Chain A
Amino acid sequence: MKRRDIILTSASILLLLVFINFASGNLDAYKVRILNLCAIYTVLGLSMNLINGFTGLFSLGHAGFMAVGAYTTAILTMSQVTKQQNFFLAPILPPLDKLNVPFLFALLIGGLLSAFVAFLIGAPALRLKGDYLAIATLGFSEIIRIVFTNTQRITNGALGLKSIPNTTNLWWSYGAAVITIAIMALLINSSYGKAFKAIREDEIAAESMGINLFKHKVLSFVIGAFFAGVGGGLLGSLMGTIDPLMFRFSFTFSILLIIVLGGMGSMTGTVIAAFIISSATELLRFLDQSINLGFVVIPGVSGLRMVVFSALLMIVVLFFRNGLMGTNEFSWDKIINLFQRKPLIKRRLGQ
């Protein structure tokens, strides 16, 4: 990276730290929650974009990975007492009852477990192409959910887990987001990342240029799953409760919406879209509820918010095929050029 870029990036991160410090103390809980969600969905979006956007694999199994991460982190951070309270139908399987690790390790273990599950799933599934891969990964994701609904002694089944310690705060979520962005950027710009893109562009050509398709697809899949697991863990800790119904296909759909809106080949797009969608999800909540205009109350229509999102996805995919950013990425060069252009025009007009 150019020296100038390093300075600018460091300055931005510093600004971010200052902002988080301010926000943690001064903003109300509602706004903080939205900010947290923005960061977490950034992680989730980037994790799915690596697999679907950069490597071109149509994987619809993301909810499964998020579930593994969420449950792992939850179980590893809940106290023994909380677990006893939760698992009233059937006691949790030892040694899970006593297991308790610091949040960082819980997240990492959750991520690793997700990655491992992805490895197991990927071995058979990634031999399939296109639609078949989509349906297979969807199938695996559903199997995970169904298993979680039935393993009463490990996941508490359909009851889900409540009173998960709310460790997630702006530091954790933005820390994770920044690290995810950094690692993804490093990966994508490396030889391996380019190999992923080659696979997306033309599998047959990539293979003919010596790239082992299966190995690289598995790599992409597993790394994506790792970050999905971490994101899931953060989310569970933020919300305090999780249950298998959270991890249905509609969850994968939300992340899919983010990466399609942002542009499937662009990390920058994913980040921007994650912020837009997370904010919109909360801000548009009013659509589902009644609006009190003073003189009249417009009754809320439950589900209208999701209609808006579905329609949004349709509009993007039909009319804005490449999303917000297409395959373009952020660069300091482009930002600086943006600001330098205007004076140039003024100069020309002046002559």
Chain B
Amino acid sequence: MTFNLFLQHLTNGVSLGSLYALIAIGYTMVYGILRLINFAHGDIFMMAVYFSFFGVATFGMPWYVSFVVAIILTCFLGMLVERAAYKPLRESPKVNILVSAIGASFLLQNLAVVVFGGRPKAFPTVNLFQQVMTIGAVSLQRLTLIIPVASLTLLFGLLFLINNTKSGMAMRAVSKDHETARLMGVDVNRTITLTFGIGSALAAIGGIMWGMKFPQINPAMGIMPGLKCFIAAVIGGIGNITGAVLGGFILGVGEIMIVAMLPSLTGYRDAFAFILLIVILLFKPTGIMGEKISEKV
């Protein structure tokens, strides 16, 4: 493989990794605060893509309006799912809330099939982003560069929020211990809702960029990315935001590079994430940046 081709693949990998990172953040934040795998997260990502699609296609909004509206709607959707499917089960055995999460995921998917139609649609093209540029010997869409930049910016913004604001501190407190946080005057419910809102908004942004990069959209499009992004969060250390981003990049770059270097393995592309997951769970279950949580007997 020529160096230029390698660079091309690498850029694609980084771009894909950034998208994974944005979605993975949502998983890791929710897990940190509720010890719950939000199975519905991938489908929320899918909904965001459809919201922005309909904004442009059906309501004729200009893309920047549609995108913002979609992000806000998705944000609310995420918070709604939390209130309806997770909050009532907070005191129940873990199994029930996991089942609820799976149910919510399938409900969203199937609602999407019914409401949006099962056949794939074409995401609107935005010339500003999708214009092809050439840097040196590498030609790529402007989007491919914007994605990592946007992701990292959002990451730093989020880290600032978590570490330097009162709400952020509330999130950290709740992720350590609900009861103690409540006793310290933290509105636990509001904090949890906020966490879901932020995670969903980030997934929405990721979704919109995904739609622009991979314009064919369908109701099942959130399943694989959803699974992979959770795996990314686990690899990075579940509960750790920086870890989630790291995991996202590892997964994105790894996936692209492996297929690039071993084209015969293209069919196994999705398996890469799962194999990596199992390796991590066996050798370092707490992930790259994770901490060990021991149970008191």
Q: Are A140 and B278 in contact (CB under 8 A)?
A: yes
Using known A-B contacts A130-B94, A139-B278, A204-B297, determine if residue A314 contacts B100 with beta carbons closer than 8 Å. yes
Query: A303 touching B114 by the CB < 8 A rule?
Result: yes
* Residue on B nearest A139 in the bound complex, by CB: B274
- Contacting pair B223 A249 (CB below 8 A): yes
CB <8 Å contact, A131 and B37: yes
Chain A 238-271 per-residue mask, 1 if CB under 8 angstroms from chain B, else 0: 0000000000011001001000100010000000
Q: A146-B268, A302-B113 are in contact. List 10 more A-B contacts (CB 8 A).
A: A58-B94, A124-B282, A131-B37, A140-B278, A256-B102, A303-B118, A306-B106, A307-B114, A311-B107, A318-B85
Q: Is the CB of A310 within 8 A of B106?
A: yes
| Interface presence of B270 (CB below 8 A) | yes
Q: B interface, by DSSP: helix, strand, loop or mixed?
A: helix
Please tell me if B261 contacts chain A, counting CB pairs below 8 Å.
Answer: no
Query: With a CB–CB cut-off of 8 A, which chain B residues contact A283?
Result: none
B213 to chain A, nearest CB (A): 23
* Cross-chain contact A58 with B95 (CB below 8 angstroms): yes
Q: Chain A residue with minimal CB distance to B106?
A: A310
- Tell me how far the C-beta of A113 lies from the nearest C-beta in chain B, rounded to whole angstroms: 20
Residues B89 and A149 in contact, CB atoms below 8 Å apart: no
- State the Cβ distance, B117 to closest chain A Cβ, in Å: 8
| B67 adjacent to chain A (CB < 8 Å) | no
Shortest Cβ distance from B226 into chain A, in angstroms? 10
Chain B residues within CB distance 8 Å of chain A: 31, 35-37, 85, 88-89, 92, 94-96, 98-100, 102-104, 106-107, 109-111, 113-114, 118, 223, 227, 230-231, 234, 267-268, 270-271, 274-275, 277-278, 281-282, 285, 297
Q: Decide if A134 touches B98 in the complex (CB within 8 Å).
A: yes
Bound Cα distance from A25 to B100, whole angstroms: 42
A260-B99 contact given A304-B114, A313-B106, CB 8 Å threshold: yes
Q: If A124-B278, A135-B230, A313-B103 touch, does A307 touch B111 (CB 8 Å cutoff)?
A: yes
Most interface-central of B37, B100, B107, B113 (chain A CB within 10 A) = B107
Distance in angstroms from B184 CB to nearest chain A CB is 27
